[in-house]
Amino acid sequence: MTKPRIGIAGLGTMGLGIAQVFASAGFSVVATDAQALARENARDRMASALGKRVEAGKLSSQARDDTLSRLTIVAAPEDLTGSSLVIEAIIEDMVAKRALFAQIEPALSPEAVLATNTSSLPVGGVAQGLTRPGRLLALHFFNPAPAMKLVELAGHADTDGDAIALARRLTEAAGKTVIDCPDRPGFIVNRCARPYYGEALALQEEGRSPADIDAAMLAAGYRLGPFSLIDLVGADVNLAATRGMWTAMDGHPRYHVFDSLIRQVQSGALGRKAGRGFLFPDAPGAPPADAQAIVKRIESTLINEAGWLFAEGGVTPDGIDTAMRLGLNFPYGPFAALQRHGRDSVLETLAALETAAPAHLAGRYRPAPIVTGG
């Protein structure tokens, strides 16, 4: 049976990667971009990405050629006609995304699904103005899309159940693990990761060194410590994501933007791309004597954030754990961590943190119902 056609709008980092995911899995992919240059060199860019896999012995040259033969580049969004699923990966701008979907929708059948790859915009907002808003949902891929197994799927309040089912089926057929999540800021991973950085920055402001904090997390099985992760992604990118989440969550102290992160960005030591960061080019050394206490504190806040998300509905503990393992390479998810530490002990840690919290962080450590047993 011929596989349904997949449309892609936006051939930047994410769009090209998502196109490769579906073309590699045997789907015919039709793709477009507003920039002529991006359309013209898309095939070469995909060929180069696949070529690296051929050189590494992970892909045959026949499979590379077959994948490339399934890619068709078209001039305009209206040309994505015939697609069963269109995934948008253009700039992160609500007005631009709405305008794009308004152009695409009339070219598709009423059963087709429209998906946004937005990282931070409300899915319901992107659907506004469509004739069939029930056909729109979010499929949030991670970078690099071909390598990252996880895709977060979020419908908005009025997304049709069969649109969600079709998007899930096609994305799973392309080899991804699809986790349902609510239309909430940051979905699962970008939100539940906040305390990994935030609590590390809180510890740093209390006088602990990034090397000690990272070493403690490495000793617990995390592949990269919080500061090494910020150095990898860029302190400026981390600051923008933190500010975005703080704003989206109405300035709740759980998403506090720590001064040390702002100062780090102002200093220009943004991480790997700047040649120096919080820790880079150094590596963490041996874990400090109180490594377990550091891990307990950071994991307690990760558990609590996951607990608050769970309390809002639309996601399961298993879904959150899987998303955190696949999206961040965590050795285990927050609910598995809750099992390890035990509820009473996490509650005790959060209570001690809340008691010691300065005025501007009051309420930061208020325990979620799953932690209190409520």
CB-based closest residue to ligand NAD: 12
| Beta carbons of 230 and 269 less than 8 angstroms apart | no
Distance CA 22, CA 4 (A): 10
| Residues assigned a catalytic role | 119, 140, 152, 190
Closest contact distance (angstroms) between CB of 278 and ligand NAD is 20
Closest contact distance (angstroms) between CB of 312 and ligand NAD is 21
- Binding residues vs ligand NAD (CB under 6 A): 9-15, 33-35, 38, 89-92, 96, 100, 117-119, 141-143
User: Whose Cβ is closer to ligand NAD: residue 126's or residue 370's?
Assistant: 126
Distance CA 332, CA 341 (A): 13
User: Whose Cβ is closer to ligand NAD: residue 35's or residue 61's?
Assistant: 35
Closest contact distance (angstroms) between CB of 117 and ligand NAD is 4
User: Whose Cβ is closer to ligand NAD: residue 24's or residue 116's?
Assistant: 116
| Beta carbons of 194 and 252 less than 8 angstroms apart | no
Full strand arrangement of the beta sheet holding 71-73: 71-73, 29-32, 5-9, 83-88, 113-116, 136-141, 150-155, 177-180
User: Whose Cβ is closer to ligand NAD: residue 117's or residue 349's?
Assistant: 117
- Cβ-Cβ contacts under 8 Å for 336 (sequence gap 6 or more): 321
| Beta carbons of 270 and 281 less than 8 angstroms apart | no
| Beta carbons of 144 and 176 less than 8 angstroms apart | no
Q: What are phi and psi of 76, to 5 degrees?
A: -140, 160
User: Whose Cβ is closer to ligand NAD: residue 19's or residue 220's?
Assistant: 19
Closest contact distance (angstroms) between CB of 365 and ligand NAD is 29
Nearest to 69 by CA among 103, 14, 23, 115: 23
Cis amide leading into 210 (omega within 30): no
Q: How far is CA 6 from CA 28, 174, 177, in A?
A: 6, 11, 18
Distance CA 77, CA 17 (A): 18
Closest contact distance (angstroms) between CB of 303 and ligand NAD is 25
